[in-house]
Amino acid sequence: MTGRTTPYRVDPDDQDPYAEPARRAAAWRPAVKAAAVVLPVCLIGWLGWQAVANSARDVSSHASARQAPSYAEGDRVGDGGDDARAATSPDSADPTGPAAAPSAAAPSPSAAAAPGGTDRPLAGRTVLLDPGHNTGNAKHTAEINRKVDIGNSHKECDTTGTSTDAGYPEAEFTLDVVHRAERILTDRGATVVLTQNGDRAWGPCIDERARIGNEAKADAAVSVHADGAPASGSGFHVIMPARVAAGPADTSAIVEPSQRLGLLLRDTFKAGTGEPFASYIGRQGLDTRSDLGGLNLSKVPKVFIECGNMRNAGDAQRMSDPQWRQRAAQALADALTSYLTG
């Protein structure tokens, strides 16, 4: 409204001393009633406006959070951000699309060292690893001294093996190297068969060791040993099968591929470990024998490696070093990989 309000005037005829306060109260009563109605309505309206405004801010805040994830949440390695994005990718529903491809994780050292440019070059291949001897053989002399037929003669089932002067047994050395090589070969896709895994009381006999590889139809086999030659001799050598055809033995089909495996193993082992060729063999780290049952009875390509002379102080020190044994295992795995993929 835009009209004027007439100012309040005192009536000169009114002599009652209480009349003036009463008139003032009567004049203000409508305004007070109006305020009593208007103020609560205004307060309710203001509170309602605040609630709506806060709700709008919350909705806006949540929408912004969904639309713009922080760098730390969305891209930090290991926080699941990539997996979350892949789950909503159109390709994730297609098993042949990019989402089905393996992740580009850094390859393991053994896989990176695999010849052939792939991290599983031995998929579908079977490898026999034969850790020589057994630490329990010394307690089972009757069993290991039993003679077995190796085709062109009879030999003891097994022997105790040798050791360093400090007492490190050949059987412990061979099993450790084989376990290390097994991990590398398995990473490369191979099926690895062991003739014994440290869980037998003794043995197995040499004829059983050959039979395990034959029954597994191994693509290649290596028997790992350490020599017990005179202390003056040092170095390693690889033993390959001679041609033997007698009784249960017939190496005719494996001589040539075994020689190829033996040459690869010799060269790779020397390059990988720095170990020299055996000074007491005189054949550039190679030997061919017809008196080893593990070779005579094998129907699959197979070689022996004498990784060093445990009676020689220098060789013994190297073979007692876990890092050197890892290099030996790496060389063994690399040679088998080259043979099977070459």
Please report, for the domain that includes residue 160, its CATH number.
Answer: 3.40.630.40
- pLDDT above 60 for 207: yes
User: Are residue 28 and residue 167 in the same domain, yes or no?
Assistant: no
- pLDDT above 80 for 326: yes
In a domain, 60, yes or no: no
The more confident residue out of 183 and 111 is 183
User: Are residue 37 and residue 163 in the same domain, yes or no?
Assistant: no
Neighbours of 154 (CB within 10 A): 12
User: Are residue 27 and residue 156 in the same domain, yes or no?
Assistant: no
Residue 75: the pLDDT is 26
User: Are residue 168 and residue 285 in the same domain, yes or no?
Assistant: yes
Under DSSP, is residue 77 helix (H, G, I), strand (E, B) or coil?
A: coil
Residues designated catalytic? 306
User: Are residue 39 and residue 127 in the same domain, yes or no?
Assistant: no
Number of domains making up the chain: 2
Q: What range defines the domain where residue 24 resides?
A: 20-53
- pLDDT above 50 for 86: no
In a domain, 67, yes or no: no
In a domain, 66, yes or no: no
- pLDDT above 80 for 210: yes
Residue 117: the pLDDT is 56
Once rounded to an integer, what is the mean pLDDT over residues 47-74?
Answer: 38
Once rounded to an integer, what is the mean pLDDT over residues 28-48?
Answer: 50
In a domain, 123, yes or no: yes
Q: Which amino acid is at 263?
A: L
- pLDDT above 50 for 23: no
User: Are residue 29 and residue 166 in the same domain, yes or no?
Assistant: no
**Predicted model pTM:** 0.67
Residue 109: the pLDDT is 40
In a domain, 30, yes or no: yes
- The whole-angstrom separation of Cα 44 and Cα 50 is 10
Once rounded to an integer, what is the mean pLDDT over residues 168-192?
Answer: 98
Among 59-63, 267-271, 294-298, the minimum mean pLDDT is found in 59-63
User: Are residue 154 and residue 266 in the same domain, yes or no?
Assistant: yes
Residue 218: the pLDDT is 98
Once rounded to an integer, what is the mean pLDDT over residues 51-77?
Answer: 35
In a domain, 3, yes or no: no
- For the stretch 184-199, pLDDT in tens is 999 999 999 999 999 9
Q: Any idea what DSSP says for residue 242?
A: P
Helix (H) or strand (E) segment spanning residue 307: strand 302-309
User: Are residue 137 and residue 223 in the same domain, yes or no?
Assistant: yes
Among 115-119, 167-171, 241-245, 323-327, the minimum mean pLDDT is found in 115-119
- pLDDT above 60 for 157: yes
- pLDDT above 50 for 4: no
Residue 200: the pLDDT is 96
In a domain, 246, yes or no: yes
Among 106-115, 216-225, 232-241, the minimum mean pLDDT is found in 106-115
- pLDDT above 90 for 127: yes
User: Are residue 40 and residue 127 in the same domain, yes or no?
Assistant: no
CB contact burial 27-46 (16+ within 10 A = b; e otherwise): eeeeeeeeeeeeeeeeeeee
Q: Express as a percent the part of the chain with pLDDT over 70.
A: 65
Q: Calculate the average pLDDT of the chain.
A: 77
Once rounded to an integer, what is the mean pLDDT over residues 306-329?
Answer: 98
Residue 46: the pLDDT is 53
Residue 301: the pLDDT is 98
Residue 119: the pLDDT is 83
User: Are residue 25 and residue 130 in the same domain, yes or no?
Assistant: no
- pLDDT above 60 for 208: yes
Query: Predicted confidence band at 63 (pLDDT cuts at 50, 70, 90)?
Result: very low
- The CA–CA distances, whole Å, from 303 to 9, 129, 153, 278, 307 equal 130, 10, 19, 16, 12
Residue 25: the pLDDT is 44
In a domain, 80, yes or no: no
133: nearest Cα among 112, 154, 161: 161
